[in-house]
Amino acid sequence: MSRDFDVVIVGAGAVGATMAALLLARKQVSAGRIAIVSAGVPAATAMAATDFDLRVFALSRASQRLLSLCGIWQLLPPQRMLAYERMCVWDAQGAPQGAGSLTFDCAEIGEANLGFIVEGRALLRGCAQAASAAGAVSIEATVQQIEVNAAEVQVRLDDGRELNGRLLIAADGTASKTRELLGIGAAGHAYHQDALVAHVRTGHAHRNTAWQRFLPTGPLAFLPLPDGRSSIVWSVPREEAGRLRALDAAQFGAALQEASGDALGGIGLTTPVASFPLHLQYALEYARPRAVLLGDAAHAVHPLAGQGLNLGLLDCASLAEVLAETPDPAALGDYRQLRRYERRRKSENLLAAAAMDGLERLFSHSSAGVARLRMAGLDAIGKMPYVRRRLAQRALGLIGDVPDFLRGES
């Protein structure tokens, strides 16, 4: 049994579902003509009346506008998100809002906030609901084989069904099977670090501020949550991660308070501690005839700046903009068109990956001379309002390679 579609998306996560919702919202593809293939409905999309999901995302202004256009933003529960207004980063040898620190404030750039901290479960649910409501067809299966010819791409599923489409979009994560079946290689390296994630209550209020201290072992971030708690992302060497996870709640809180330099006072752990390995990865190609990669299937960066999902959502926006240049449905999957997307996004994503990798290496260097240079650099940037403003605008997606339809409030 086979079914025909214009677009087949593999991966039902935030990037895959947003891509489907975006093409449907912009009427680039008709309802019922997009299939989203995944092994199953992600457990995180089933909202539960429990604690905050341990996964949270920092979303930029460009991401907010994209999700609003897709009808996703309107579905996010206000109690599961927080607009943060400031960000303070400081060196391990410095002090927050003192020597060796850098603070960004939304008031300095004339914005209402610097972005939103959004619960992962709520975001995935909103993305899935919006895509379904717009007319995307969900198919529960795994991809076993891909064949491409001049007219279409044929996807064979593990249950024997076949899907035919003009364009195949791989959005199935860092271990993308679709990328592998397309014969696209990937490169990168492991950081030999794990990121510990948990939610904590701090002695001092977070003040709608994201706090990040750069330690020689890796960065420690506190992301503000709407209930007054903070979500931590603590990057440490793998052996140290194992030791920390074995601590009881009181011991872990004490270790976290020490690592933060007591910036937020006493710390109490309110959830279990989870972890995930960190690595840099990038696909050697983003496009093949009638096939293209998005999000983590194309690139994975260090989470120290919280840009991973924002980069993936900009992939979606850029692909939609490139596809709109030739509105004829028969042109979907044209390799020349997909190569334009590849050239545009690959350079941007590699630049972001290199920047994150460079920062991680710079701040993990423990020599006294390098530490003095880091602190001097942070102090210098702190005294240059124009530079601070441009950095904040870049992180928000207000400047840089941002599709035209995301530059306004519409």
Please give the share of the chain, as a percent, with pLDDT higher than 70: 92
- The first and second tokens of residue 271, run together, are 């959830």
- What is the arithmetic mean of pLDDT over 144-170? 95
Sequence length of the chain is 410
- Residue in the structure block whose two tokens are 């039902």: 12
Q: Which two tokens stand for residue 90?
A: 């400081």
What per-residue confidence (pLDDT) applies to 330?
A: 74
Give tens-digit pLDDT for 331-370: 888 999 999 999 999 988 888 877 777 666 666 655 666 5
Q: Looking at domain 2-83+115-187+280-364, which of 1.20.1260.10, 3.50.50.60, 3.40.190.80, 3.30.930.10 is its CATH number?
A: 3.50.50.60
Query: For residue 391, what are the CA distances in angstroms to 92, 349, 387, 396, 405?
Result: 21, 16, 6, 9, 22
pLDDT digits (tens, 9 = 90+) for 7-62: 999 999 999 999 999 999 999 999 999 999 999 765 444 445 477 899 999 999 99
Decide if 87 contacts 209 (C-beta within 8 A): yes
Q: Which residue has the tokens 């593809």?
A: 29
Record the tokens describing residue 296, joined without a space.
Answer: 């983590």
Q: Mark 68-92 as b/e (b = at least 16 C-beta within 10 Å).
A: ebbbbbebbeeebbbbbbbbbbbbb
Please provide the average confidence, as pLDDT, over all residues in the chain. 90
* pLDDT value, residue 408: 62
* Residue ranges of domains in the chain: 2-83+115-187+280-364
Sign of the Cα torsion 95, 100, 104, 108 reads positive
d(CA 341, CA 272): 41
Q: How many CA atoms lie within 13 A of 45 on its CB side?
A: 16
CA distances from 201 to 226, 265, 271, 275 (A): 12, 10, 10, 19
Map residue 348 onto helix, strand or coil: helix
Q: What is the pLDDT of residue 359?
A: 65
**C-alpha distances in Å from residue 163, one per residue of 74, 147, 240, 288, 394:** 32, 11, 47, 18, 40
Q: Are 19 and 10 in contact (CB under 8 A)?
A: no
pLDDT of residue 100: 78
Which of helix, strand or coil describes residue 135? coil
Taking the chain, what is the end-to-end CA distance rounded to the nearest angstrom?
42
Q: What is the DSSP letter of 326?
A: S
pLDDT tens-digit series, residues 216-255: 888 999 999 999 999 999 999 999 999 999 999 999 999 9
Position 409 scores a pLDDT of 45
Q: State the virtual CA torsion across 11, 14, 17, 23 in degrees, nearest 10.
A: -120
Task: Give 262-288 pLDDT, tens digit per residue.
Answer: 999 999 999 999 999 998 899 999 999
Residue 101 has pLDDT above 50, yes or no: yes
